[in-house]
Structure 1
Amino acid sequence: MLRKTALVLFLTLVSLSAFAFDQADFTNCLGNYAETISQAAYLASEKADSAEKQAFEGAADRADKAEKRIRDIISNIETPADFSAAQNALTSFAADSDLNAHTVAVVEKLLQQRASFVTGSTAIAPEITLSQSGRAAAAPELLMNRRQRRLVMINIPVVEATISFTDTDKNRRLDNLKSIFQRHNCRILSENSDSSNELTHTFYFSGRKFVVDAILGHFGGDLIQNDMKAIVRITSGGFWSGKKSVDFKIAPTATNGVMGELSWYKSVVEKDPTRYLAENNYKELATLGTLETIAGEKKLQLKNALAEIWVMSKNGSQRTAVYFSKIDLGDVYVDAR
C-alpha cells in the first residue's frame, strides 16, 4: 500500500513538472487580453444609462475570459526558467505600445502572486525579479486604437427603423422622443408630420440595435431593411378639361433591393417622376395626358402636371410616410409608346 501511494505521488509530481512554458502562446494571450481591456475601458467611460451599457457587459465578459486564460498559464509556472521566460515575454510585449504596457502592469501582478505562492513552497524556491515595464494607464480608454474601436462597433450593430405616433399641439411626445434620440446617439434620417386627421409625427432613424428595439417596443414601428415603398400621385389637366389624378405604387423587387432605399426614391423617382413612370407604368400614365406630334415625334403631354411623393415603411401608409415631396412640373412631354 505504501509503495502504491509513493508511486501515485511520484507520477503526480512528474505530471506537474511536465508543463512547458509556451512563450508564443503566452504573448498571443497577452494580445487578446490587451484588446479586451481597452474595449471594456472605452465602453466603461460612457454614461452608465447609455446605449453602451450592454456592450460594456459583453466586453467585460470577454476580458474576464481572456484574463482566465492568462491565469491558467501562470498557474502552471513553477521553475525559475519558466518565470524568466514569462518575464522576458512581458518585457518584450510592453515595449510595443502604451496599451501593451498597461496590460503588462495588470499581468505582472498575477505573475507576482504566483511567484509568492511558489516561493513559499519547500520544494521549489526560485529567485523572482519581475520586470518594471508595466505602466498602468490613468485613462485606458485613450489607448484604444482604430482597429479596436471598429471591433467595438461591430459588436453593436446599427439598424434603421421608422416610428409614428400622434401628439398634441404641445408636442410633449415629440420632445421626449428627440431627447431619447440625443441621449442614445440615434441619427434622424428623415422626419415628416401629417395633420390631415390627428397630428402624426413619423421618424426614420438609425441607432444601436438594442436601443432601437427598446424604442420600437414603446412606440411601435418597423425595422427598415431596404424594403421601403412609395406612392407617387400624378395630377394633370387644365381648368376647362378638369384635373385627374392617378396613384402609382412603387416597391422594391427581389432583384433590385436598392429600390427600397430612401436615397433611391429621391435620386431616381423624385428627380424625374414622369420619366420613371413613363418607363415603368406608361399605360396608366397615358390616361392623364393627350398625344401630340412635336417635330415629327409623338409625345404624351401632361398639362399642368403635379407630382406628390410619399415614401414609407413596408407596413406604412401615406399618413405615416417618412418623406413627402410635392413638385409642380408644369407642362410635361414624354415619349409616346
Structure 2
Amino acid sequence: MNDDELTAVLSRAGFSEYEAEAYLGLLRLHDASVGDLTDICSVPRARLYDVLRDLAADGYVETYEQDTLRARIPNVDRAVEELREWADGFENAADELEDVWDRPSIEHTDISVFQTQKGTIEKAIDYVSEANHVVQICASPAELVEMEAVLGTIHERGVTVRIALNFDPADSTTEDLPDMFSRVATEARRCEANGPFVALIDGSIAVLAIDNELDGEYGLVVDDNTLTSFLHWFFQLQLWEPWDTLYSESVGHPETYVSVRQLIRDLEMLHTEDETVRVRVNGVDLRSHEMVEVEGEVVDVIYTDVYPTRDTTFAQQFIQAALRIRTGDGEYTVGGYGAVVEDIRAIEIDVIGIE
C-alpha cells in the first residue's frame, strides 16, 4: 500500500487529509519539529501547528516545546485499534449486505423469504442454536454434517432432536451417520420421500429450503402458528411417520412426545382404564401467549368420531385431537401444532408415570 492509499484509508477512518499526512510523516520521523515535517509532507507550515495540536488532543501524538514546537508518536496503539475497529465494521457491513441480498424487497414481520438455500439453512442453524425444547429436521446427509456441531450442543443440554434423514444410497456420507446419531439426535428415521430441507424449532419457528430444477432455489423462515402447523403436518405425515427408525435413545428414558395424536394412539394401545397417566407439558398458553409448564393426570382424550390411526386419510388427520389434564390448579385442555380452542398449545409432552 503506497502513501496515497494509506492516507486515503486514514481519512476514511476519521482523520482529516492534513492530519493523515502529518501523522504518516511523523510516523516515519518518530520525533520531529514543524520544519522537519514541512520538508516531507504537503501540509502548509502555518497549518501544521493546529494539525499537530488536534492530533495531540485526540491522543495520537505528543507535542512539546524546545526551540520550536515538536511532536512525537509514543506508540501507534490508538491508531491501530481504531483501524481494526473500522475493519471489523466493514466486515460486518459486508456480511449484512449478503444477508439482505438473500431477502426479498418486501418483508413481513412473521415471514422472511431467502433467495438461496445456503442462506436459509444458515438462518435455521441460528434458530436451532437457541432452541429450548424440540427441534425436528429433515435434512440430507451433507446438510446434517453441516449442522452436527449445533445439534450436538443442543442435544447435550437436553433438547429433543428428531431427524428425518433424506436417504441417498449414492451419498458416501450416509455410511458415517449412524455414529453421529447418538451425539446429535433423540431419534432418527430414514426418509425416502426426497423431501426439502425442513426445520421446526420449539413449536413456533419453521424453516423450509428448496433447491430443485422445477422450483428453483429459495427459502422461507416462518414465525406464525398457523403456517408452522402446516409444515408440521407435512413433516409428520410425509417425512416422519411412514419411515423406519434408524436410531432411538428412548429406551430407559421418560417418553417425550411432540405429537398429541401420537401420544393419544399410544395411550389407547398401552394403558388400561384403571391406570393413571401423568404427563408434563411444555407449551404456550393460548390466552397470555406465554411459555408455560404444567404437570398433571390425563383425565380425558378428545378427538372426533373417526379415530386417527396410521390408516387414517390425510383429511381426517386434521380433526381435533387434545388431552384434558388435571393439575393442582385445575383442568387444562392441551392441543398440538395449530391449536386454537384449547388452553395450551403443546411443544413437548413427557409421560412421567403410568400407575
- The TM-score bracket by the shorter chain reads under 0.3
Structure of larger gyration radius = 1
- TM-score, normalised by the number of residues in structure 2: 0.25
- TM-score, normalised by the number of residues in structure 1: 0.26
More helix by share: 1
More strand by share: 2
